[in-house]
């Protein structure tokens, strides 16, 4: 059995086993990612802290820039409110979003020094597994490379369960911000 088939089967089993209304737990998935420097990382790294989780791809000319700008506003509002929350962004286009592309993305949106932001890249199967668990829908046009996708930002609690979510495009972020507890999480330490 291939790794992709195994990951898909695990995702389908995990998704099917969730009872109606049961929290979706991202730590239930055995996925492995790479950070912006290409170092391996898992979502387990964020266990014990609150974080926002969303999906983008760096060549997106549609909603991803709007999502990024909303996350920047959220980051500033968190700072002003004295709330700690990491912002975890997962690439929907792992074949394109290499470490140099992720660096350009940070520079383009003025987040190169943003300490709360973590951009993760996995393979297609891992992205599909996580998006299926979260019911985040996306599809890639094989001819143009354009990815049509949802625009949801998830608030994940210290045990990996989704606490709440918001649309990154049209939903005000005040309720999302209010759901972040004071203290939230300590910043993730960068590996050196």
Residue 18's pLDDT band (cuts 50, 70, 90): very low
Residues 38-51 have a mean pLDDT of 93
| Average pLDDT of the residues in 168-183 | 87
Q: 22 pLDDT band (50/70/90 cuts)?
A: low
SS3 172: coil
**Tens-place pLDDT, residues 73-118:** 999 999 999 998 999 999 999 999 998 999 999 999 999 888 889 9
pLDDT at position 184, please? 56
Q: Domains of the chain, with CATH numbers?
A: 3-18+25-179 (3.40.30.10)
The percent of the chain in helix, strand and coil, each rounded to the nearest 5, is: 35, 20, 45
CA angle 41, 148, 135 (to 5 degrees): 60
Closest CA to 113 of 38, 33, 39, 187: 187
Closest CA to 13 of 3, 5, 2: 5
Average pLDDT, the chain: 84
């Amino acid at each position: 059995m291939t790794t992709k088939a195994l990951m898909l089967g695990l995702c389908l089993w995990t998704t099917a086993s969730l009872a109606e209304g049961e929290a979706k737990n991202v730590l239930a998935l055995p996925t492995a990612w790479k950070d912006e420097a290409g170092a391996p990382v898992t979502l387990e790294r964020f266990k014990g802290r609150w974080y926002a989780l969303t999906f983008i791809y760096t060549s997106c000319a549609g909603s991803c820039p709007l999502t990024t700008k909303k996350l920047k506003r959220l980051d500033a509002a968190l700072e002003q409110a004295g709330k700690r929350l990491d912002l975890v962004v997962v690439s929907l286009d792992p074949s394109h979003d290499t470490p140099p592309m992720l660096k350009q993305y940070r520079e383009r949106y003025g987040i190169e020094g943003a300490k709360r932001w973590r951009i993760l890249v996995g393979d297609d199967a891992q992205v599909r597994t996580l998006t299926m668990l979260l019911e985040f829908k996306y599809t890639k046009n094989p001819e143009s490379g354009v990815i049509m996708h949802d625009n949801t930002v998830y608030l994940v609690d210290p045990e990996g369960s989704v606490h709440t979510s918001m649309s990154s495009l049209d939903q005000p972020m005040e309720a999302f911000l209010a759901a972040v507890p004071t203290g939230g999480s300590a910043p993730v330490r960068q590996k050196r």
